[in-house]
Amino acid sequence: MSKSLFKRLGSVALIAALAAPIGANAESSFQTGAGALNSSARVDFQITIPRFLSLRVGTAGAPVDLVSFTVPAANVGDATAVAGTGGDLGAGSVTARVLGNGGNVTLQATTAGPLGNGTSSISWSEITTASSNPSLPAPVLANGPSAAVAVAATSGVVNQTATWTYGYANTGVVEAGTYGGVNTNNSRVTYTASLP
């Protein structure tokens, strides 16, 4: 291709680009004349929010909390409820929080089986959980997976916080010993929050 032809083609392309309407390149308007003038331009916006789900039970970002019960000898098995110690709030209580933006959340607790001491066991049904917030109920603990509980969303968002307080129902006489512990003898409860 000759230099002169290339220059001519380049000039034609430049003229075509300059002749194109201004609105084809960007939103704008141009007004002229006497008196009051108005000129407007538009901009579109878009915000993308990712779907997320967060669950907290106990101390945030720290080792797993331990809740302990010590039954007085005179009350073993007499159905006198025993308050706990420990937990991030003390007195057998923990902070529970569910935060998500994908609609209703289901919450479930899972254990590996009854609390053991090496020779005997105590059913998880003996451990009660009271919630300070009816909108964030605690799953009823079981020997294995619990029944799921629902945490309802408002406008697609769940943002609920509660204090969960554990107790020992003490309804049966069991062998002396320490049941459970720090991740031993089926002592750990794993809570799982789920979005559909």
In the chain, the domains with their CATH numbers are 53-194 (2.60.40)
Supply the pLDDT for residue 184.
97
pLDDT, one tens digit for every residue, the chain (196 residues): 555 544 554 554 444 444 454 444 567 778 888 888 888 999 999 999 999 999 999 999 878 999 999 999 999 999 999 999 999 999 999 999 999 999 999 999 999 999 999 999 999 999 999 999 999 999 999 999 999 999 999 999 999 999 999 999 999 999 999 999 999 999 999 999 999 8
Query: pLDDT by residue (tens digit) across 25-81?
Result: 567 778 888 888 888 999 999 999 999 999 999 999 878 999 999 999 999 999 999
What's the pLDDT at 168? 98
Q: pTM value?
A: 0.81
- Give pLDDT, residue 14: 46
How high is the pLDDT of residue 9?
Answer: 47
pLDDT at 3: 57
Residue 186: other Cβ atoms inside 10 A: 19
